[in-house]
Structure formats: C-alpha cells, structure tokens
C-alpha cells in the first residue's frame, strides 16, 4: 500500500500576480478574494486540496512589497514568516514582467532556504511569447528552482501540470485536514472578505486600503431558508465614510447587493445582508486598532 503524502505549501509573490486566483483555481472553490488592485490579500489563509492519496495545504499570503505603514508591515511580515513554516514554496510571477527588479526582495531570502521552490509563471494567456520565453530563460538561468511551470490561473492552463510538480515534492505524512474541509477560516472571515472585495470593485482607488470589515452577526433562520448577516465597514475618516455610504446610501447599497449575490452562491441560501459604515480614525497606523480588526 502506498504511503499517504502531505505537506504545507506557501504561495508567495509580488502583489497582484494572481496568487489568490491560482488558489481558487486549484481548489475549484472561492476561498480567497481577488481584485484588479494590488495588495488585496491581507491575512494568511489555508486552502486544502484533496487528491488521491495526498493532501496539499496551501497558504495564500499577502503580496510581498516595500512597506508604507503598519498594516503593510503586518502583511509582509505574515508572508515572509510562511517561508520558514512550510514544506514547499510556490513562487508566482507574471510572464509579462521578465525583468522586474522588485522580485529581488523575494529571491534573496529563498537562495538560502533548503526546501523545494517551484516557480509558476502566470498570465501566459495575456503575454507575448517572446516575453514568456525571456522569463523562462532568465528563471532557468538562476538555478534556484526545482521546477518552472508556465500557467494561466485565470483560464486553468498548466495548473494540472503544476499540481503534479508539487505532488512530486510531497513527503509521507498525515492527513492534516478532514476531506470535506477546503479552508481553515471561519465563515465570518469569508463574509468579511467578500464584502471587502466588493468595496475594492465599487469604490475609488485610494479607499480600499483604508477599509476593513468586521462581522457583527450571523444568524440562521432555517424556517425562512435565510441567513441574516450584519457587518461593519471601518474607514479612517469622515470623507471616506461619505464615499462608502454614497449619495442617499446608494454606494453602500451597491456594495451590499454585490456581496449578497456572491454570499448566496457560496452558502446556497438566501441572504439578508445589512452593512454599516464607521470611522476608525487612522486605524492602518494604530497597532491596537490593527489587532482589533484582525491584522
């Protein structure tokens, strides 16, 4: 009888390279929010992929970048800690940025780590072939990757090959998570992340980084086939609150409607979602406020 294989895999990379999109693609379910804007992922979360005789526990990390405030420092620290805690490192890069100097801040610490490093070159579907070839050539020349796999996380191209490469580097180990579990996060975390994703998509560019979401109530009403949810959107100033609320409450209603549709698909039931906006002055620069809001 073959031994069961398992391991923890950190998905790391620069902001907005498609790490969360890749994790959702691998799992076949949405556990990590995505957006066209960078630094969407703020917390580490575990997504579990169950295969025949093996289990992969992926840790989706915030994008590694030069820090601007306490929130960003917390995000980058979380990502870098994952490197030392896992069995395999999955570095995700973009095919159309073959000479990105910012990658050096990630590659430097990886050179001294004695564990498998797999490189996934993402967004091959939107990249000229010469850029892709240049990226693959440059990456191979570095000699620090156990495997290099071109992929499109959005379309799924190459993802099955990536899974095979990762599986080949698993070691015999226990089944860490039950077969019906795909993430370690509670439903309140998923709810807050879905609302935050809709804030990213429906507000001005400068606002999302100053917005956090806490869930105040989740109440099941089985007799009505309904899930009642109440959540608060925390912003740093009255002007930001005005943006979130919108004229006559139009913007917060728009955010709530988009979030409700998504949550109904995820939970498979009708959802009543109530959103409030609150000013938490300069919370991204306040250590106590960061802890209070879960960062």
Q: In what order do the strands lie in the sheet with 270-279?
A: 212-221, 226-235, 270-279
Contact 89, 113 (CB under 8 A): yes
In a domain, 217, yes or no: yes
Are 164 and 192 in the same domain? Answer: no
Phi then psi dihedrals of residue 141, to 5 deg: -65, -25
Domain that holds residue 103: 5-172
148: enclosing H helix or E strand: strand 147-150
For the chain, percent of residues with pLDDT exceeding 90: 34
**pLDDT averaged over the chain?**
81
Are 162 and 241 in the same domain? Answer: no
Contact 266, 233 (CB under 8 A): no
d(CA 111, CA 82): 15
d(CA 31, CA 20): 8
Beta strand segments in 5-144, E: 5-13, 45-51, 54-60, 88-94, 117-122
Are 137 and 9 in the same domain? Answer: yes
- Let me know if 125 is exposed, middle or buried by CB neighbors in 10 A (0-12, 13-18, 19+): middle
Final residue in a domain of this structure, among 140, 172, 204: 172
Mean pLDDT of 183-194: 83
Domains: count for the chain: 2
Q: State yes or no: pLDDT of 67 exceeds 60.
A: no
Mean pLDDT of 263-280: 89
272: enclosing H helix or E strand: strand 270-279
Final residue in a domain of this structure, among 128, 145, 172: 172
d(CA 8, CA 89): 9
d(CA 269, CA 259): 13
d(CA 153, CA 181): 22
Mean pLDDT of 130-157: 84
How many alpha carbons fall within 13 Å on the CB side of residue 293? 30
Are 56 and 100 in the same domain? Answer: yes
Which CATH number is 23's domain given? Answer: 3.40.50.300
Q: State yes or no: pLDDT of 91 exceeds 60.
A: yes
Q: Pull the structure tokens for residue 223.
A: 């007799």
Helices and strands of the chain, counted as H and E runs:
9, 10
pTM: predicted TM-score of the whole model, two decimal places: 0.69
In a domain, 199, yes or no: yes
Contact 142, 107 (CB under 8 A): yes
The pLDDT value given to residue 216: 92
Are 200 and 250 in the same domain? Answer: yes
Are 230 and 131 in the same domain? Answer: no
In a domain, 179, yes or no: no
- Name 59's bridge partners: 10, 46
In a domain, 178, yes or no: no
Q: State yes or no: pLDDT of 102 exceeds 80.
A: no
Final residue in a domain of this structure, among 142, 172, 202: 172
């Amino acid at each position: 009888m073959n031994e069961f294989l398992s391991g923890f895999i950190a998905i790391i990379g620069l902001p907005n390279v498609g790490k969360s999109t890749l994790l959702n693609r691998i799992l076949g379910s949405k556990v990590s929010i995505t957006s066209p804007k960078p630094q969407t992922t703020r917390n580490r979360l575990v997504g579990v992929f169950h295969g025949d005789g093996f289990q992969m526990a992926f840790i989706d990390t915030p994008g590694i970048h030069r820090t601007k405030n306490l929130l960003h420092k917390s995000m980058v620290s979380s990502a870098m800690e994952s490197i030392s805690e896992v069995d395999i490192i999955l570095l995700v890069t973009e095919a159309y940025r073959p000479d990105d100097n910012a990658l050096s801040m990630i590659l430097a610490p990886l050179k001294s780590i004695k564990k498998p490093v797999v490189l996934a070159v993402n967004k091959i579907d939107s990249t000229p072939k010469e850029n892709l070839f240049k990226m693959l050539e440059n990456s191979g020349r570095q000699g620090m990757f156990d495997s290099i796999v071109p992929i499109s996380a959005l379309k799924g191209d190459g993802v099955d090959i990536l899974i095979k490469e990762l599986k080949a580097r698993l070691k015999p180990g226990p089944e860490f998570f039950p077969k019906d579990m795909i993430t370690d996060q509670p439903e309140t975390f998923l709810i807050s992340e879905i609302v935050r994703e809709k804030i990213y998509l429906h507000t001005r560019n400068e606002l999302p980084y100053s917005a956090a979401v806490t869930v105040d109530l989740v109440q099941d009403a089985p007799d009505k086939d309904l899930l009642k949810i109440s959540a608060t959107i925390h912003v740093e100033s009255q002007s930001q609150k005005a943006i979130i609320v919108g004229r006559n409450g139009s913007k917060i209603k728009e955010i709530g409607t988009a979030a409700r549709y998504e949550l109904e698909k995820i939970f498979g039931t009708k959802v009543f979602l109530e959103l409030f906006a609150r000013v938490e002055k300069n919370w991204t620069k306040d250590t106590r406020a960061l802890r209070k809001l879960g960062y």
